[in-house]
Amino acid sequence: MHKKVVFKSYSQNQQFLLPKNIDDFVIKGHIARLISKIIDNMDIQYIIATYKGGGTSSYNPRILLKAWILGFVYRIYSCRLLAKAIRENLPFIWIAGNQQPNFRTLNNFRLRLKEDIKKIFKEIVKYALEKGIIEGKDIFIDHTKRDANSNKYKIVWRKQVENQLNKIDEELDKLFKHIDELNEEEEKTFGSKDLPEQERAGFDNSKVGEIIDKINEDIKNKKITNDVGKEHKREVRRIRELLERKEKYNLKKDILSNRNSYSRTDNDAVAMMMKDKITIRPAYNEGVAVENGFVLDYVISDNCADNLSFIPLMDGMIDNIGKIPENAHSDGAYGNEENMLYLNKRKIGNFLKYNTYHREKKRNWKEKNKFEELTYDKKKDEFVCPSGIKLKFEKEKPDITKTGYKHKTKVYRSGTGRCDKCNFHRAKAKTLSLSWKYERLKKQAKSNLSSTKGIELRKRRGNEVESVFGDSKLNKNKRRYNLRGMKKVTLEAGLYYIAHNIMKIKNKLHSFNEQILFSLKFV
């Protein structure tokens, strides 16, 4: 015997005596509520000041800012997809107060934030610091290469541009020289006075037609032969073509500035080697300073060298948290003399790995590099190797890094031929170059990294900072920027890390108390 099947009543046209509140459909612990409370308590007068006033009413900037942050939480990075979510998705409908800004309004507001995104980011960091989510003690630094929104096959290289300019100059020299030779053969008295095409510096592309007419007139008046005239006209046209090409390459050279490459689709992006050490694509170098998985500051660079952004990243982080951290840790890309000296001057614990840190532990390194076996005589400023051969001070080489940091390297060298038959010569002891300041800083860093605190930081680094990039690229599908240009990319990264930090805040607070949020006063 079958029991009666009962279904719940279903009607898409259900009428209510009193309309339901959208607030009822958004649970109390939803991240949209946290975003709304934080932005409502934030002073955004600097954004409001960018509005000119007049005309029709504008959407409240708080609504648009909340919508963008919530969009990045939900992996929505496009203004059209965000506009669609605001029309169809309940948390977005709630956060927008049932208003429906279109994609143009959303995009225009996003561009309006270009100069102010760092201020908003700083307020989120201050909130997390106040709530004890971060302490500003142990800072972890790392960079990642993120693809630019550009065609990977459309890259302009400095060497290519310089080679083309050299070829054009060589051909122009030959053409002008040939014109001179033709004129000399005909022994024409007007020579360079009447033919402006012979004056390379004063050649005017707009007057090519006049020059050719002049040549035709000279042929007609039999001042020059027909063959010479044809040769003149062909070369004048070629000169015009070359000068036009040269102008284009000079423009590319101006765009390059001090870089070695750029993308034709996004001129601010640079060709960078990806992590697989094989692929080269237009990208930006994105760096973050992290504590407890919370991003304290970020920088976007068009230089693939991570260490160049270390000091700006640390300065930005210190400004955001309002104090000097206790320790800084990173991988071997950052441990140069300039960065270590920066930490020492600010009395920050130097836990930076340097480029040979891991190699020094290998047996192969210890056999080939026996710097420790050399005896240094401070008075004479010379080294003595185990074979008794002296490496005397030869010279001091000053150098300036790309960031403008000045440092000096001392060079020590043994006498000519004295190391040729020595077994120790295989250790490359014939010449020794070193910076005493850097050696002291490396020794300090090595000691710190081997300490109990150093071992703890080394264990934490992978989870602290690598997980931030792993989460963005794998979980959030943020392998590539949507916007183009350095300023817009910085804006996009700022929105992403604001959303990332708010999610971290929610995870730490779990079920947050609305009264706590209301008590927050932003300055």
What are the φ and ψ backbone dihedral angles of 464, each rounded to 5 degrees?
-70, -55
Is 517 inside a domain boundary? no
Higher pLDDT, 194 or 212: 212
pLDDT band (50, 70, 90) for residue 24: confident
> Does residue 80 have a pLDDT over 80?
yes
pLDDT, tens only, 112-148: 998 899 999 999 999 999 888 899 999 999 999 999 9
Number of domains in the chain: 3
* Residue 433: Cβ within 10 Å count: 12
The 3-state DSSP class for residue 272 equals strand
474 lies in a domain?
yes
Same domain, 307 and 442: yes
Shared-domain flag, residues 140 and 163: no
- Asked if the structure places residue 459 within a domain, the reply is yes
Mean pLDDT of the chain: 84
> What is the average pLDDT across 153-177?
90
pTM equals 0.85
Same domain? 325 vs 386 = yes
Instruction: Give yes or no: residues 405 and 315 share one domain.
Output: yes
343/404 same-domain check: yes
Tell me: do 315 and 370 sit in the same domain. Answer: yes
What is the rounded average pLDDT of the residues 188-211? 50
Q: How many CA atoms lie within 13 A of 42 on its CB side?
A: 24
Residues 92-103 pLDDT 10s: 999 999 999 999
Q: Are residues 303 and 403 in the same domain?
A: yes
Query: Per the domain annotation, does 219 fall within a domain?
Result: yes
149 and 292 part of one domain: yes
Which residue among 201, 235, 261 closes a domain? 261
For residue 141, the enclosing domain spans 136-154+271-497
- On the question of pLDDT at 196 being above 60, the answer is no
Q: How far apart are the C-alpha atoms of 490 and 55, rounded to whole Å?
A: 31
The b-or-e profile of 296-306 (16+ CB within 10 A means b, else e) is: bbbbbbbbbbb
In this structure, are 242 and 342 located in the same domain? Answer: no
What mean pLDDT do residues 346-357 have?
Answer: 92
In a domain, 13, yes or no: no
User: Taking 50 as the threshold, does the pLDDT of residue 336 lie above it?
Assistant: yes
One domain, residues 163 and 149: no
In a domain, 437, yes or no: yes
Q: How far is CA 190 from CA 59, 183, 186, 211, 225, in A?
A: 72, 9, 11, 14, 15
Average pLDDT (27-31) is 89
Using CA atoms of 70, 73, 75, 77 in order, give the dihedral in degrees to the nearest 10. 50
Q: Which of 261, 293, 308 is the last residue of a domain?
A: 261
| Same structural domain, 379 and 455 | yes
413 located within any domain: yes
- On whether residue 480 sits in a domain, the answer given is yes
186 and 108 in one domain? no
The number of CA neighbours under 13 Å toward the Cβ of 294 is 30
Picking from 261, 286, 302, the residue at the C-terminal end of a domain is 261
Q: Structure tokens of 199?
A: 């004056």
Q: Per-residue pLDDT averaged across 277-283, rounded?
A: 91
